[in-house]
A and B are shown apart, each in its own frame.
Chain A
Amino acid sequence: MRHLIDPLDFTVEEIEALLDVADEIAADRQAFRQVCQGKTLATLFYEASTRTRLSFEAAMLNLGGNVLGFATADSSSAAKGESVADTIRTVSCYADICAMRHPKEGAPLRASRYSRIPVINAGDGGHQHPTQTLTDLMTIRQRRKQLGHITIGLCGDLKFGRTVHSLIKSLARYEGVKFILISPEELRVPDYVIEEVLWDKGVPFVEAEDMELVMDQLDILYMTRVQKERFFNEEDYVRLKDTYILTPDKLAAAKPGMAILHPLPRVNEISIDVDDDPRAAYFEQAQNGVYVRMALIMMLLELASPVAAGARTGALQKEVR
């Protein structure tokens, strides 16, 4: 049995295979509508979420499966003090697979050690968010036709931005990727990401504070929100929240083929005037989120794709086991 807790739980080859299935789903969603008939997804969301929870639920429903779960910790036994270990042992009796979001870092890992069903990390505190990363990778691959040989600028809250940590870990495995890390001093990428991912693998990167100075170098601009819920101190949040606001003026120097990504929700870090720019890819990301989660559920439940039921699907099955 496999889980997805950390973005590196899957090899590069497994991710490529998963994205291929996601592309097949995008091309013909109807063909997948009965793949998960009789299967149940539990969504265990101890922290508020709109996009991620709904996209998981939409993914399972699109596959013909069922969904149960809770949307806040208040409506679960966590409010009574139940441990994550006990909750997952119980949920394993009711569902075939589960997606867990938790404000505490490492909660899905803890759950996976007691679970009898595959556990998907749907975001743990400021730590990791591997399914957002799959969404990001699918969108980058659609826009750039490959995942290597890009210069990507990550901008905003790089300290608490779990999507950023997961994306850096994943993209660092591809050849020719260069990172430009744009943040205020207080929200720099954590040292462990720099030392153990970028330095360790010899991946080129620079840190910058001014987005406009590096704009012309970027193939991908990954904007992030400064997350109020990650701050213990309101004053710090207020001081930092509007550090970067992307407007059409600031895009003047950007390459015509650059893609702008954002894990959403945005507050005001991307002006709505940018939405109609052909470089804006963040609503495509939201759509892709459903497709990659459908492919992921199939992969973890070891279910074959009804499309191209040939060699490549077989290869995916073999890799999963």
Chain B
Amino acid sequence: MLSIDSLERGIVIDHIKAGSAMGLYQLLNLDRLECTVAIIKNARSNKLGKKDIIKIEGMLDINLDILGYIDPNITIAVIDEGKIIEKKRLVPPEILRNVIRCKNPRCITSIEEGVEHIFRLTKGQNGTRYRCVYCEQEDQGLPDWLNKAKV
């Protein structure tokens, strides 16, 4: 079995849907980090059968809103001195800021310079969904190259 060193200090993003880790890597801008990042694909999982894992060395902070939006079942472990010092539970965030873009051509975000793309979690009879705060258009999802990360 493939062996990846344990982290001395950093973050483990676990229980990622198999095949989604590269999409998350891009979405979290991990390519811009100077530190070591390990992507483990198709690891064995009792819960999921197969899963992906991302290990980030030296960083203790991560954008939980993005992860909560992608899949609240992802787990986060913060490691220091080789031990788990915190496990973070994810919930879908009430407000998503600059994670997804509104695709409604009638929305002010389609023309306004410097505008933030803000989505609000709304609850209807068919469950929860995100809507643009400006035009109320429903979230159309991530670009195709990232969309497979979304559960």
Contact = CB atoms under 8 A, between A and B. Distances in A.
Contacts of B144: none
A196 B133 contact: no
Interface string B121-138: 011111000011111101
Contact of B108 (A84, A196, A200): A84
B106 interface: yes
B143 interface: no
Contact of A110 (B131, B134, B136, B138): B134
Contact of B107 (A83, A106, A196, A199): A106
Contacts of B5: none
Size class of the contact patch on chain A: 20 to 34
A104 B111 contact: yes
A126 B131 contact: no
Contacts of B114: 83, 85
A319 to B, nearest CB: 25
A109 interface: yes
B81 interface: no
B122 A106 contact: no
B124 A106 contact: no
B147 interface: no
A103 B104 CA distance: 13
Given A126-B106, A192-B136, A192-B138, A83 B112 contact: yes
A109 B122 CA distance: 18
Interface residues of B, number: 23
Interface string A106-135: 110110000000000000111100000000
Contact of B123 (A83, A103, A191, A200): A200
A105 B133 CA distance: 10
A85 B114 CA distance: 9
B125 A195 contact: yes
A233 to B, nearest CB: 13
A124 B137 CA distance: 14
B108 A106 contact: yes
A269 to B, nearest CB: 23
A101 interface: no
A258 to B, nearest CB: 31
Given A127-B136, A196-B124, A200-B125, A105 B104 contact: yes
A127 to B, nearest CB: 6
Interface of B: 104, 106-115, 122-126, 131-136, 138
Closest 9 CB pairs of A and B: A106-B134, A195-B124, A105-B135, A104-B108, A106-B108, A199-B125, A107-B108, A196-B124, A125-B106
